[in-house]
Amino acid sequence: MKCEKPENVRVSALTISSDRSDSGKTTISLGLMNALSKSVKVSPFKAGPDFIDPMYHKIATGGESVNLDLWLMGKKGVKRSFNKYSTNSNVSIIEGVMGFYDGMNGRYSTWELSQILNTPVILVIDCSKNSTTSSAVVTGLKKFKRNNIKGVIFNNVASDNHYRDCTRNLPEGVVPLGWIPHDSSLSVGSRHLGLLTPDIKSKEFVKAAGQIVSERIDLDRILDITNVEIPKENIDRKRSKKSGKAALALDNAFLFYYKENIEYLRGMFDLEFFSPLADDIVNDPSFIYLGGGYPEIFADKLEGNNKTKNWIRKEADKGTPILGECGGLMYLSSDLKTDKDHSMVGIFDVNISMSSKLTIGYTELKARQATLISNTGSKIKGHEFHKSKVDDINEKRVFTNLRGKGLGDGSDGVYYNNVLALYSHIMFPGLGKFIAQTNI
């Protein structure tokens, strides 16, 4: 039987990338999103597994940002999500990750993502310590592999003369789109897990970035660059009939969730959000989800909120499916040590303390037994990002780390009575098995 060629759909989209991290890519991406949102509807996307950049994207555009991660989602998953969330907007902007060609073992880079989605690429190049050499950097990126690089924005430029020097000898087909002057206020601050989560000053920062981009960048030319065609993917998934209610922790301690995971749950359950910081409970949940975040910052409050802790323990003993990722693992453990020891929910006999060492990277897990998200022998791809470590553990581990640190001993995941807690963050749509197949 002859396979029909997939129908193409025309969208306006672009990818923002750079030669490296810390080039101003995030600031300029936010500025472009915000500036264009004043006249057209913008759909924001983030390459890779980052949780915090999408929070800023929402401030810039007013819409939810979607992660596009080839390791976690695969080629089909990335295409499906991009189709799903880009077709109802005027322009889609994908903020890249690291340098253009950087990834894992030569794969999963912003370059590969832009090739799969056929998006034009605009580079952000930091000129703070060079001038004409910036064009040589662009030339190298352009010639390194077949790509869709169409334009360049120069950042941290001192003057019009400096900008002219930066644009000398740009490769054919790459146009200069403007420049941003050095401004120390146009920088997203950092904290111990990367960027600062948005606060009351973030709107002012994003507004300022949008204003300077509007003044100095050729937005009309950028919109001319963005028209592309991509294969139309089937975005309809067969969903189980809704079965009860999912309780999702959402506050300043638990706030790291992928939009696709929330939408996946929304297709299976009625969603109800709760706050462990407010000592909330949800009556009769069919599933409880505790995502990542900063429980260490709010350890005193979490320790004292016994109503939520007792409720979670009660649901665990009943066999209610519960998933805790990273910060959720820390909360479900028995003890969390910051400057002092804090008693947590205590479902698992695990003691965790904060560390000065950042654990970051992709993970791959092989299931030693069946769990909420796996059958025995299943392989699951994830991502870990934390500054904590396991000091003591008296629980059976349920995953072997084929890649990544996990609990620190080559394993990840502890399991009790339908409760799973692990360091890895995972994407639900790509799982072969999920909570729909458990006894709920």
SS (H, E, C) the chain: CCCCCCCEEEEEEEEEEECCCCCCHHHHHHHHHHHHHCCCCEEEEEECCCCHHHHHHHHHHCCCCEEECHHHHHHHHHHHHHHHHHCCCCEEEEECCCCCCCCECCECCHHHHHHHHCCCEEEEEECCCCCCHHHHHHHHHHHHCCCCEEEEEEEEECCHHHHHHHHCCCCCCCEEEEEEECCCCCCCCEECCEECCCCCCHHHHHHHHHHHHHHHECHHHHHHHCEEEEECCCCCCCCCCCCCEEEEECCCCEEECCHHHHHHHHHHCEEEEECHHHCCCCCCCCEEEECEECCCCCHHHHHHCHHHHHHHHHHHHHCCCEEEECHHHHHHEEEEECCCEEECCCCEEEEEEEEEEEEEEEEEEEECCCECCECCCCEEEEEEEEEEEEEEECCCEEEEEEECCCCCCCEEEEEECCEEEECCEECCCCCCCCHHHCCC
Q: pLDDT at position 332, please?
A: 98
Q: pLDDT at position 237, please?
A: 56
Report all structural domains of the chain as residue ranges with CATH numbers, in order of start: 8-231 (3.40.50.300), 245-437 (3.40.50.880)
Global pTM exceeds 0.95? no
Q: pLDDT at position 193, please?
A: 46
Q: pLDDT at position 191, please?
A: 46
pLDDT tens by residue, the chain, 440 residues: 344 445 666 679 999 999 999 999 999 999 999 999 999 999 999 999 999 999 999 999 999 999 999 999 999 999 999 999 998 899 999 999 999 999 999 999 999 999 999 999 999 999 999 999 999 999 999 999 999 999 999 999 999 999 999 999 999 999 999 999 998 777 765 544 454 678 778 899 999 999 999 999 999 999 999 876 666 665 555 555 778 999 999 999 999 999 999 999 999 999 999 999 999 999 999 999 999 999 999 999 999 999 999 999 999 999 999 999 999 999 999 999 999 999 999 999 999 999 999 999 999 999 999 999 999 999 999 999 999 999 999 999 999 999 999 999 999 999 999 999 999 999 998 887 776 554 43
The amino acid occupying position 388 is S
Residue 127 known to be catalytic: no
Please state, in angstroms and rounded to a whole number, the distance separating the CA atoms of residues 143 and 20: 17
Of the residues 3, 127, 166, 326, which is catalytic? 326
Please state, in angstroms and rounded to a whole number, the distance separating the CA atoms of residues 392 and 413: 14
Q: pLDDT at position 242, please?
A: 78
